[in-house]
Amino acid sequence: MVDAREFSRAVWSGDLDAVDAMIAAGADVNAADDPRDPPIHLAIEQEWLPIVRRLIDAGALINRDLRDGWTPLVHAIDIESDGAWQAHYETGLESTDLTELLLAAGAIPTDRAFEIARNYENRKALALLTKHSNTQPPGA
């Protein structure tokens, strides 16, 4: 049995080899190491795209709402948008790699995801959300 704390540390530090080994050994990819969030959120926070991909492939819950609509997709849009904002990038230069990965894996565009993308004026994320949404974006 893989210890959730040990697994969370490997995810947080970006140790892909350790993450792979622990997944192979049966790590619960959805277990949160109290008081931390589940591993997918830890990987998103650090923008470890290969680890997010491994977690998704291993069954991470990509539509799990932790609190107030905070899903992995919302977290990804927030982290990518905020990173661009802090780096003083012009609108349109945001990375959307995490957002694209999650949407391709079946993440559901929620009202909160649209809200975060709008708040940051992240047109790339808004376009992706609209493309993967079955309806018009909220507030359109």
Domain-located, residue 64: no
Q: Do residues 49 and 9 share a domain?
A: yes
Alpha carbons 78 and 90: distance in angstroms, whole number: 16
Q: Which residues, including other chains, have CB under 8 Å from residue 44's CB and lie 6 or more apart?
A: 52, 72, 75, 76, 79, 98
Write the CATH number for 49.
Answer: 1.25.40.20
Give the torsion sign (CA, 35, 39, 46, 83). negative
- Residue 81 falls within a domain, yes or no? yes
Please say whether the beta carbons of 122 and 94 come within 8 A.
Answer: yes
* Encoded tokens for 95: 């990375």
Please give the pLDDT value at position 89.
Answer: 66
Residue of 49, 72, 74, 70 lying closest to 60 (CA atoms): 72
Average pLDDT, rounded, for the chain: 89
Residues 50 and 76 in one domain: no
Q: State how many domains the chain has.
A: 2
Angle 50-80-5 from CA coordinates, rounded to 5° = 50
Q: What is the pTM of this model?
A: 0.89
* Structural contact between residues 89 and 96, judged by C-beta atoms closer than 8 angstroms: no
Q: Is 135's pLDDT higher than 70?
A: no
How many residues are given for the chain?
140
Q: Verify that 79 and 49 share a domain, yes or no.
A: no
Helices (H), the chain: 4-13, 16-24, 39-46, 49-57, 72-86, 97-104, 111-119, 123-132
In a domain, 138, yes or no: no
Do residues 124 and 92 make contact, with C-beta atoms less than 8 angstroms apart? yes
- Does residue 47 share a domain with residue 89? no
Which tokens hold the place of 12? Answer: 């947080």
Name the pLDDT band for 91 (thresholds 50, 70, 90).
low
The residue type found at 63 is N
pLDDT, one tens digit per residue, over 14-63 is 999 999 999 999 999 999 877 778 999 999 999 999 999 999 999 999 99
pLDDT at 139 over 60: no
Structural domain for 31, as ranges: 4-57
Band of the pLDDT at 82, cuts 50, 70, 90?
Answer: confident
Mean pLDDT of all residues in 5-14: 95
Residue 140 lies in a domain: no
Same domain for 94 and 44, yes or no, is: no
